[in-house]
Amino acid sequence: MVESNHKKCGFLRMALIETAGRGSVHPLRIEDAPKSLKAPDVISARALADLDQLFVFSEPWGRQNSAMKMLFHKGRDYQAEIEKARGRWAFDLIIHESVVEADSVILEISSLERRA
């Protein structure tokens, strides 16, 4: 997990301990994380940025791991975000209905490439 706020990092570490979860917490800004961390298999984010900006954050890792998937929770305006992102990016997309919130979805994205 990448989180720039040290207080939130402490909470995430405690949550891992209390739940016997597997993972690690890195106190970094997402923009700096690809310089310090190897490419993950999956990236997930919620309420961080629009899809286009999430791709900007994810692209450095995607160049290192072509099999990487992204899972992003999006609200009712997700279709507009997809259309905007398609202007700068090519990607495979599967849309899953969210069981958490009506009118929201989970976007499963793979094969991310910046358009020339």
Q: Are residues 112 and 72 in the same domain?
A: yes
Q: Are residues 29 and 53 in the same domain?
A: no
Q: Are residues 80 and 94 in the same domain?
A: yes
Split at pLDDT 50, 70, 90, the class of 20 is very high
Please give the model's pTM, rounded to 2 decimal places: 0.85
Q: Are residues 47 and 100 in the same domain?
A: yes
Q: How many domains does the chain have?
A: 2
If you write DSSP's letter for every residue of the chain in order, what string do you get?
-B-S-HHHHHHHHHHHHHHT-----B---TTTHHHHSPPPSEEEEESS--HHHHHHHHHHHHHH-TT-EEEEEE-TTHHHHHHHHHTTEEEEEEEEE-SSSTT-EEEEEEEEEE--
Q: Are residues 44 and 6 in the same domain?
A: no
Q: Are residues 102 and 62 in the same domain?
A: yes
Q: Are residues 47 and 26 in the same domain?
A: no
Q: Are residues 67 and 103 in the same domain?
A: yes
pLDDT digits (tens, 9 = 90+) for 23-55: 999 999 988 988 888 888 999 987 889 999 999
